[in-house]
Amino acid sequence: MSAPKRSGPKSRAVAAKAKAAERWELRLYTAGQTPRSLAAFANLKKICETHLNGKYRLEVIDLLVNPELARADQIIAIPTLVRKLPPPVKKIIGDLSNTERTLVGMEIVLEG
């Protein structure tokens, strides 16, 4: 017979991180309506709807319209996805077509 599970500092930290992960804030930096930018948006929308269950906020920033906004998140390539919340900040460059890479990069834990 195994010992009962205890709620120690580590398990509380994991629970706190899970609670914080209930709200995701994402920014997708693009440059106009290019095929790569449109693909990144479509791929990200599908990932969010499938894995984040509506618990996210997505902001799309077109750097052709607001180029000065690239400086705040140190954007050097586009399209770039920035995960603002939950911390830490994460960045993924590309069209997000590799779903597994995107999930790992965003640290989305899949229920299994």
Domains, the chain, in order of start with CATH, read 22-106 (3.40.30.10)
| Whether residue 39 has pLDDT greater than 90 | yes
CB atoms within 10 A of CB 103: 16
Assign 62 to helix, strand or coil. Answer: strand
Mapped onto helix, strand or coil, the DSSP state of residue 28 is strand
Average pLDDT over residues 28-50: 96
| pLDDT classification of 10: cutoffs 50, 70, 90 | very low
Record the pTM: 0.78
Query: How do 80-85 and 24-30 pair as beta strands?
Result: antiparallel
